[in-house]
Chain A
């Protein structure tokens, strides 16, 4: 009977090994382990065995059952895995086909640069404010220390609606409007971004409408050094850690001292290249210390507070950032241009 059990076990294990389908395994399970299976058949003959041998034989029979059971499970798992592999293999696709199309629009490059600049200054504690594009002569000129007959009115030849109302030639009127609202609170730290209009002929770097970034800081003890520091911080956030700010004496009626503001060329670091036209510097725009008369017009006492301000062109910054050579592309609204951003 021992021999019979061993033979049965070996036969069953071999048969399992040769079976290639789940159904075949099920047949084997019935044949060897089922109620009418071979193993049961052998155990039925247990009655003829002497009583003292029975426990040992019983254990042997259990071992055979366990072995067959385990092999059946392993074999079933192996077969399943092979089948899955075969099925998945048949689901092969051309991986080089394009991904499913999903819509992607774009924000205008001018908007992107505007948002970037706003983020820089709001992080520095500046409030973004707004002002009208159609302005009064008072806010656009008089309050900014540009009285009638001032020669600076020529250099900013304006578009008029009537003799007292015009399209603003600069964002500086917002300085006055803000100070009027805020006085006597300190500090004033604001920027404003918006359209300005000048009667300039349109060319690759000028248009009769453009966007200006204006900033104003007023507080006790504000210095020209603070102006340099603030603009350096802006330039570094915008163009990279290595850039420097350079101020050149200039003239604006609403600032004194006044400066043209340059940033060192981020491409050549000041050595001169095609981007900066060999000068090593890129012009950002005007800046300076707020003129005492402008502070007075805004309701602050220039003997007590001081301030700085600047006005840079967003178009120029955008062109610089993306290497756009002609300002007019920014207003072409050609979707082939817009989709690049």
Chain B
């Protein structure tokens, strides 16, 4: 419910007529009262003029149509012939005429036409055709204007449509005091430094029975209702409100109903104070008791719904029953109807938090409850009810009993705040004088005392209508915005030099991103929330730091108590489910060759239910399917397989300068049973290093016992059953690892002087049983090669004739190097030693 401000109405409260609505809007916005948009009240109506109906005849061809002759005081003096369907015309009445070329709301253009064979030179307009949504009924007929409306004159100014509505988007702190025409006018006056001219309120004080004789106010729960005022109006006469009032309500977005309701709404818009009218004769014992509901109490509210109340809800009651829900909605039993003779007009200050709780609990929100929630001026209720009384008298809608029956828990006094001019300048970087500051504050209606240049501070008295200003720093902002944020000079922070930087993990993340993008993968970014079923569907494990029983309680991830949709209802414990979804999303769109990665957080509860914050480790996930290199005119296509994925892992480790992680057998349900592995790492310390820095080309670190190895992730081909569930074609690949643990394998890159002596390369082609892991052979070569062997690289693997069935040929390229020129004899000896070791360990034979 945005605050809608009529420019014309505003102009009565503060002179702004010389400032165009758009200009006013931008001045206000720059002072903190954001104007979301400015809407012309005429809705684009152009060229509609006053005409007088001179003659009415039946349409020769249509029963329900009339042919009228209308004088619009045209230059040529010729009257217009216009066909209409309305029944409410009489000869001599004056009506709005949309002549040829005129425009109606939404740009609808009116042109000459023929209606059932009769030429019509325009259209006679109903209210609903001239203006949309201003509370008139479709069947009202043509709008009949007053008899002396000047012929040929534009109806827009005549009907008060030459107005603009400023739609405010108020921040929380301005919401209370700018939620009224007077509040906005006061702001405008302060911003423009112009006089603020509120209406003068005068109420008849004559009458036999005074309000205090007619009603007793009792407030046993003043914490929720610190102030309450009521007036009594007798002999009310319900009827329509005058046009000016209806128009203003419409501009404010409120539908006119009848004079009493309209007046309460008008005062709410004008003063920001919600009022409520009760049927006075329904108040038992003439006693109004404002109290919390009792357990089990019920009320049928004005919308006809019976509502069960709870003891946190504030009610307006009499000794016998509940009359209404304070600030939220009245009860049906005390509704003002055509039969009502006397009313009680309530103007209360309810605390915002109490109203919010009630309105939330019942799901009821209204203009009134919204205003209470935002906070009101605790001293604003009496002036508002006085204003309503004055309007009732002016409009002869009833007889106002003199005086106000009132409860006030304590006097609400303005706040005195000590303001140090030096403080203002040091926070803003300005050089304003105390006198300047005081002048700005006075424009807001704040009083100042003890202002003098050279004094360390002065006192500012802030009226109770500004609950948002409660301490010195609030005054700093008030000074700043009236001075103008734009006027504050641009400077840079002084002070000690600091060197910037980022956490090491963030550096790693940047590098990893670069390496993987360099290897041809595209980085993705997925939501951290997913459906609870997603994790189970992926069958991926998550090594949560909680007990199996706790993990079983939250199988899908950490649940969000109030999700918006089930698809976003748990925090994920792995990146894999979303990765599978992203691959499926793309393959569904015929993007069948993809390689993507994500480095992001997952969420692992340390216990369930949570008593402390979960851990949020950074994980790295790779997904690929199809070809990683396309077929081109000079190269064949290359299909991604397990070794492509393993290659990416090795490239990543090498690119980051990490010890190559090792693979170990694993049995994840997500993955192909024979083509998957756990990524394991020795996180303990320095073991697992060989003299090549753990990074020889075969990726084979020196032997370390598998018992030291901790899984930090898994990789493999996706199990066909899982791929099918995600509708993934081909042989998708997936890898996830704990990035934070992965990067602990880092070791500094070290420089080795280039050897001055030539290296010797020898190939070694072996035949071994096909169940011997190639990595073990490489490890054995490294171990047997001794100091002279610098590197081992597998360059060929072959099975099939002439290699016997059950055996495989492995060919390695070995590099020997020493701090001298090696002789053939030395190299041959080393080579022989290696072969002997392999023969002994694996039964390996030199391939003939």
Contact = CB atoms under 8 A, between A and B. Distances in A.
A186 B496 contact: yes
Contacts of B813: none
A122 B500 CA distance: 4
A73 interface: no
B491 A229 contact: yes
B596 to A, nearest CB: 7
A105 B519 contact: yes
Contact of B503 (A130, A167, A233): A130
A335 B614 contact: no
B603 interface: yes
Most chain A CB within 10 A, of B477, B595, B630, is at B477
B31 interface: yes
A130 B628 CA distance: 35
Contacts of B500: 121-128, 189
The A interface is mostly helix, strand or loop, or mixed, namely: mixed
Interface residues of A, number: 88
B684 interface: no
A250 interface: yes
B30 A248 contact: yes
B564 A208 contact: yes
Contacts of B474: 256
Interface in A25-71: none
Interface string A320-341: 0000000000111111101100
A151 B495 contact: no
Contacts of A259: 485
A149 B519 contact: no
A199 B523 contact: no
Most chain B CB within 10 A, of A123, A125, A259, is at A125
A331 to B, nearest CB: 6
A114 B427 CA distance: 30
Contacts of A335: 522, 586, 591, 594, 596
A245 B427 CA distance: 19
B517 interface: yes
B499 A125 contact: yes
B284 interface: no
Contact of A249 (B485, B513, B527): B485
Given A100-B632, A246-B486, A335-B596, A225 B591 contact: no
B610 interface: yes
B560 A122 contact: no
B100 interface: no
A161 interface: yes
Contact of B429 (A105, A127, A224, A260): A224
Nearest to B482: A249
A256 B171 CA distance: 13
A136 B427 CA distance: 30
Interface in B595-640: 595-596, 601, 603, 609-610, 613-614, 616, 628-630, 632-635
A229 to B, nearest CB: 4
Given A208-B564, A226-B491, A333 B585 contact: yes
Contacts of B34: 248, 250, 260
A123 B500 CA distance: 6
Interface string B508-548: 00100110111111111111110000000000000000000
Contact of A338 (B488, B498, B523, B564): B523
A250 B488 contact: no
Contacts of A204: none
Contacts of A224: 427-429, 480, 485, 488
A130 B633 contact: no
B571 A134 contact: yes
Interface stretch (B172-180, B237-245, B267-275, B442-450): B172-180
10 contacts: A103-B628, A111-B525, A127-B502, A128-B506, A199-B562, A225-B490, A251-B172, A251-B173, A256-B476, A333-B585
Interface of B: 29-32, 34, 171-175, 352-353, 356, 373-375, 426-430, 471, 473-474, 476-477, 480-481, 485-486, 488-503, 505-506, 510, 513-514, 516-529, 558-564, 568, 571, 582, 585-586, 589, 591, 594-596, 601, 603, 609-610, 613-614, 616, 628-630, 632-635
Given A105-B518, A257-B485, A259-B485, 17 more contacts: A100-B635, A101-B630, A103-B518, A105-B520, A134-B558, A134-B614, A187-B493, A187-B495, A187-B496, A201-B564, A224-B429, A228-B491, A229-B493, A247-B488, A248-B29, A248-B34, A251-B172
